[in-house]
Structure formats: structure tokens, C-alpha cells
């Protein structure tokens, strides 16, 4: 009886277990795509670094990215994408159409450099010069936009290779003038939207990344809701009465008045706003007036930036700047003319979309390498896209791991430096967001 039991029941079970052990592992489509992303990102890493170094060596200022536009279009030409150049002056829009029903996903990278002379000793350091506000300036990718462009070009190449396994359309948006259009010109994301980008291509969701020189390469940081500040510009023209520098009592000194206004503006943030709500910043970035050491001039002008993360606080700051400048000027016998230009809105990460796509970021970088951060007072014109469709904007680490955060180079400085080893995570993250949105 025991012998029959072994023959009938035990031996077949042993046989089936052996067969199962030797059977190939079944990989579902999602796993297949994730494996493809990892392999393609690695395969394209050297191209992305090569593209980034070329762009870094030959940067261009906002609305003047003509060579950058041509370089992007040339390198996308071999892919099965439609290409439009010249949107918002120098933008490039490429569309990968899978031919199958599905979402229309926008991926965005900004293109422009800054009026900064590079100080980093790199074989591909920028030697470019241009003119900005009537002055001769260096031109440098001092905020990492060269990295963004190169990463997105790499993602376009990856998704092209995966086309048969994707659905819908992917719209690759290479956007000029994120740093702001030249005086008197339109540009950037706002102009792309004005020219019909969202409606023309039917974009339903938008993703973007920004390299960070102060967080470790290989990491991703993000924040739901307001993640970057609104950025507004102001100018204050102080008019006094010109007089000889030896007899200040005979005139009205706009320089002293301007100094008092600058100090007064700082009390708006420190003493008149509820900073337990959100952060805010008022910075005077330039002041000019006078021609000689012994002449008190008639007029002084200052310009600056306002950063807010709350619309009500933004309104209060605008009102207080005007009131503070005018009343201080009045107290000295001068006048103050205040102009405020509303710029970028708060960069808002749709909370539902952020929660849904968090696993995608974790797949790309590893769960331990993705973390939530507090909002930053930096600003981004990706915010205009996020006003039109649900958006998610995150930060890609670019700091060498052996450098302390306090010693890391800052954005918008001559010493700005990025560790290229994190680019592979950026490619994987954007590609993963696409397949998980599908």
C-alpha cells in the first residue's frame, strides 16, 4: 500500500517540482519594460554625457539658442519622431507617436545658459561671450540646463527603441528662455503655451526634472503641492534733487533714500509676514545712480526679485513694497516710483499625480534614494505648464558624493559643477514615468 502511494502521489509531485524548477521565469510586460529601461539607460549614458559636454561648451542666452536648437534637431533626426523647430523662437518639439490609443505625455527640458563667466577647470568649459543688458558677458550653463537637454535626448532615444511596447504619444519639449526672455521680448514656457503647445499636441500630463548641485548624485527629491516659489520682479526709481556733494542739505539725496528703502524692504519679510505659513524673499539685485564722487545725483534706480510660495502673501508683499518705498521717499523729500512685474507662478506638483507616480521614481533610483524635501524659493517656468495640465517636477541629484553639501557649488555661479554619474537615474526616471502613465 505504501509503495502504491509513493508511485501514485509522491513521484508525480517530485517530477512536477523538478519541471517547475527548470521552467523559464515568466516576465510580465511591465517587468520587461522596466528591464528595457535599465538596459537602454546604461547603453545611452555615454551619448548623453557627450551631448551634455558639447552643450556645456557652447551655451547660448535666452531666446538666442539657435545653435542649441539645431544641435537638438540634428540628433533627433534619426529617430521615428516628428520635429518642429522655432516654437517660442528657438524651441524644439518632437513627437513619438506609437500609433496606439493612450495618453499624450509631455516631457520638458529647458535649454538656455546664463550671463556668467565659467571658472570651473574643465576640458569642455565654456569660453563663450555675448551681450546682456548692454554689457559684454560670459555665457555659461550655470544652472544645468545642458544636462536637462542631454537627458531628454537620451530618453527620446530610449523610448524610440521601446515604441512597439508603448501606447499613446510622447511629446519631447525642449524649451528656451527658462531664465527669462530679454527685456521687451516674450519667451519661455508662457510663450510656448501662448503659441498653442498644449492644445496643438493634446498634452494631458507634463513631467520635468531639474539637476541639483547640492544633493547627491543618484538621488531624487520632490515635494507635493507648491515645490518652487513664484518669482516677480520689481523696480524702484527714487527721484531727489541734484546738488554738489559738499552741500547735501541744499538738495535731496536719492542714494541715502534708496539705502533706507532697501533696509525697509527687509522688514516686510521679517516683521510683516507670517513666516510660519510659507517662506518669502525680497532681494535687491542691482542699484545704479550717479556719475561722480562729488555730485549727489537726481535719480537712483534699483531692481530686484520677490519670491513667495503663497498667493495671499504674494499680494501682501506687492502692496507693502509700494507702500514702504513711497513713504520712506516721502519722509526724505524724495519720490519713489514702484513697478512690479508678475513673473512665474508657484511651481505646483499635482498631489494625486505625485502620489501615483512616486513608485516610478523609486523604481528608477531605489526607494532609499528618493525623499521628500521642503519647498525652495527658487523659481521655474515649468509652473506655466503645471497650470494647464497636471504636472510633476522633481530634482535629480548632481553633487559628487565625496563633497559636503556646504562646500558644493551653487547654481547661477561661476563655480557651478555637476557630477554626470546621476544622469542615468534621470533617464530612467523620465522613461519610467512614461511607461507607468501608459
Percent with pLDDT over 70 in the chain: 94
- The reply to whether 219 falls in a domain is yes
Provide the pLDDT for residue 133.
85
Query: Do 359 and 328 share a structural domain?
Result: no
Query: Do 121 and 54 share a structural domain?
Result: yes
Provide the pLDDT for residue 438.
72
Provide the pLDDT for residue 127.
97
What distance in Å separates the CA atoms of residue 314 and residue 306, rounded to the nearest whole number?
Answer: 8
Any idea what DSSP says for residue 320?
A: H
Cell of 324: 514702504
Query: Do 324 and 361 share a structural domain?
Result: no
Residue 63 pLDDT exceeds 90: yes
From the list 408, 57, 71, the residue with the least C-alpha distance to 211 is: 408
Spell out the residues 6+ positions from residue 425 whose beta carbon is closer than 8 angstroms to its own: 217, 218, 219, 220, 364, 365, 369, 396, 397
From the list 73, 60, 67, the residue with the least C-alpha distance to 156 is: 73
Average pLDDT over residues 412-433: 98
DSSP 381-415: THHHHHHHS-EEEEEEEEE-TTS-GGGSPPTTSTT
Residue 22 pLDDT exceeds 60: no
Provide the pLDDT for residue 29.
82
Provide the pLDDT for residue 11.
52
What distance in Å separates the CA atoms of residue 59 and residue 126, rounded to the nearest whole number?
Answer: 7
CATH number for the domain spanning 182: value is 3.40.630.10
What pTM does this model have? Answer: 0.88
The predicted-structure confidence for 367-406, as pLDDT tens digits, reads as follows: 999 999 999 999 999 999 999 999 999 999 999 999 999 9
- List beta partners, residue 295: 244
9-23, 100-114, 248-262: segment of lowest average pLDDT? 9-23
Query: Do 271 and 225 share a structural domain?
Result: no
Provide the pLDDT for residue 176.
98
Residue 236 pLDDT exceeds 60: yes
Q: Which residue has the higher pLDDT, 251 or 10?
A: 251
Q: Which residue has the higher pLDDT, 4 or 380?
A: 380
From the list 314, 310, 383, the residue with the least C-alpha distance to 348 is: 383
Query: Do 210 and 104 share a structural domain?
Result: yes
Structural domain tally of the chain?
2
Taking CA atoms, 365 is separated from 85, 165, 360, 430, in Å, by 33, 22, 9, 11
Q: Please classify residue 279 by burial: count the beta carbons closer than 10 Å to its beta carbon, then call 0-12 exposed, 13-18 middle and 19+ buried.
A: middle
Q: How confident is the model at residue 15 (pLDDT cuts 50, 70, 90)?
A: low
What distance in Å separates the CA atoms of residue 422 and residue 428, rounded to the nearest whole number?
Answer: 10
Provide the pLDDT for residue 222.
98
- List beta partners, residue 233: 305, 341
Provide the pLDDT for residue 183.
86
What distance in Å separates the CA atoms of residue 304 and residue 309, rounded to the nearest whole number?
Answer: 17
Angle at 191 between CA 186 and CA 193, to 5 degrees: 165
- The reply to whether 164 falls in a domain is yes
CATH number for the domain spanning 306: value is 3.30.70.360
Q: How confident is the model at residue 168 (pLDDT cuts 50, 70, 90)?
A: very high
Provide the pLDDT for residue 21.
52
Average pLDDT over residues 40-51: 98
- The reply to whether 225 falls in a domain is yes
Q: Please classify residue 119 by burial: count the beta carbons closer than 10 Å to its beta carbon, then call 0-12 exposed, 13-18 middle and 19+ buried.
A: middle
| Residues of the domain holding 371 | 29-229+346-437
Tell me what the pLDDT averaged over the chain comes to.
94
Query: Do 313 and 247 share a structural domain?
Result: yes
Query: Do 186 and 72 share a structural domain?
Result: yes
Query: Do 252 and 172 share a structural domain?
Result: no
The predicted-structure confidence for 178-200, as pLDDT tens digits, reads as follows: 999 998 999 999 999 999 999 99
Residue 347 pLDDT exceeds 90: yes
- The reply to whether 97 falls in a domain is yes
Average pLDDT over residues 52-76: 98
Provide the pLDDT for residue 12.
54
Answer whether 215's CB lies under 8 Å from 362's CB. no
Query: Do 104 and 41 share a structural domain?
Result: yes
Query: Do 222 and 248 share a structural domain?
Result: no
Percent with pLDDT over 90 in the chain: 91
Chain CA centroid to CA 248, Å? 48
What distance in Å separates the CA atoms of residue 21 and residue 304, rounded to the nearest whole number?
Answer: 69
- The reply to whether 3 falls in a domain is no
Average pLDDT over residues 162-190: 96
The predicted-structure confidence for 129-153, as pLDDT tens digits, reads as follows: 999 989 999 999 999 999 999 999 9
Amino acid at each position: 500500500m505504501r509503495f502504491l502511494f509513493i508511485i501514485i502521489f509522491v513521484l508525480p509531485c517530485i517530477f512536477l517540482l523538478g519541471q517547475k524548477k527548470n521552467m523559464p521565469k515568466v516576465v510580465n510586460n511591465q517587468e520587461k519594460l522596466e528591464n528595457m529601461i535599465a538596459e537602454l539607460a546604461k547603453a545611452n549614458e555615454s551619448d548623453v554625457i557627450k551631448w551634455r559636454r558639447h552643450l556645456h561648451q557652447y551655451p547660448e542666452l535666452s531666446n538666442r539658442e539657435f545653435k542649441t536648437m539645431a544641435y537638438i534637431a540634428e540628433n533627433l533626426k534619426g529617430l521615428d519622431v516628428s520635429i518642429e523647430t522655432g516654437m517660442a523662437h528657438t524651441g524644439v518639439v518632437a513627437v513619438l507617436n506609437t500609433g496606439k490609443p493612450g495618453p499624450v505625455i509631455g516631457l520638458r527640458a529647458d535649454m538656455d545658459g546664463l550671463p556668467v563667466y565659467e571658472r570651473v577647470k574643465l576640458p569642455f568649459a565654456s569660453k563663450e561671450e555675448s551681450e546682456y543688458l548692454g554689457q559684454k558677458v560670459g555665457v555659461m550653463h550655470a544652472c544645468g540646463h545642458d544636462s536637462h537637454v542631454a537627458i531628454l535626448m537620451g530618453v527620446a532615444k530610449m523610448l524610440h527603441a521601446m515604441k512597439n511596447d508603448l501606447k499613446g504619444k510622447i511629446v519631447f519639449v525642449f524649451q528656451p528662455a527658462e531664465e527669462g526672455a530679454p527685456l521687451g521680448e516674450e519667451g519661455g514656457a508662457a510663450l510656448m503655451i501662448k503659441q498653442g503647445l498644449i492644445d496643438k499636441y493634446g498634452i494631458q500630463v507634463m513631467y520635468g526634472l531639474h539637476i541639483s548641485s547640492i544633493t547627491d548624485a543618484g538621488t531624487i527629491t520632490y515635494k507635493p503641492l507648491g515645490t518652487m516659489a513664484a518669482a516677480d520682479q520689481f523696480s524702484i526709481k527714487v527721484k531727489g534733487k541734484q546738488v554738489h556733494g559738499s552741500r547735501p542739505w541744499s538738495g535731496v539725496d536719492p542714494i541715502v533714500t534708496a539705502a533706507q528703502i532697501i533696509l525697509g524692504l527687509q522688514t516686510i519679510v521679517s516683521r510683516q509676514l507670517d513666516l510660519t505659513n510659507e517662506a518669502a524673499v525680497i532681494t535687491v539685485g542691482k542699484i545704479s545712480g550717479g556719475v561722480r564722487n562729488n555730485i549727489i545725483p537726481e535719480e537712483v534706480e534699483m531692481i530686484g526679485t520677490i519670491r513667495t510660495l503663497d498667493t495671499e502673501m504674494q499680494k501682501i508683499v506687492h502692496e507693502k513694497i509700494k507702500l514702504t518705498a513711497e513713504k520712506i521717499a516721502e519722509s526724505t523729500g524724495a519720490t519713489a516710483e514702484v513697478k512690479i512685474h508678475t513673473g512665474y507662478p508657484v511651481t505646483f506638483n499635482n498631489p494625486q499625480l505625485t502620489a501615483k507616480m512616486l513608485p516610478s521614481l523609486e523604481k528608477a533610483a531605489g526607494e532609499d534614494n528618493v525623499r521628500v524635501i521642503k519647498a525652495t524659493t527658487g523659481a521655474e517656468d515649468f509652473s506655466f505648464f503645471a497650470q494647464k495640465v497636471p504636472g510633476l517636477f522633481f530634482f535629480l541629484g548632481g553633487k559628487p558624493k565625496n563633497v559636503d553639501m556646504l562646500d558644493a557649488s551653487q547654481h547661477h555661479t561661476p563655480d557651478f559643477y555637476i557630477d554626470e554619474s546621476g544622469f542615468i537615474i534621470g533617464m530612467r526616471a523620465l522613461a519610467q514615468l512614461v511607461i507607468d502613465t501608459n
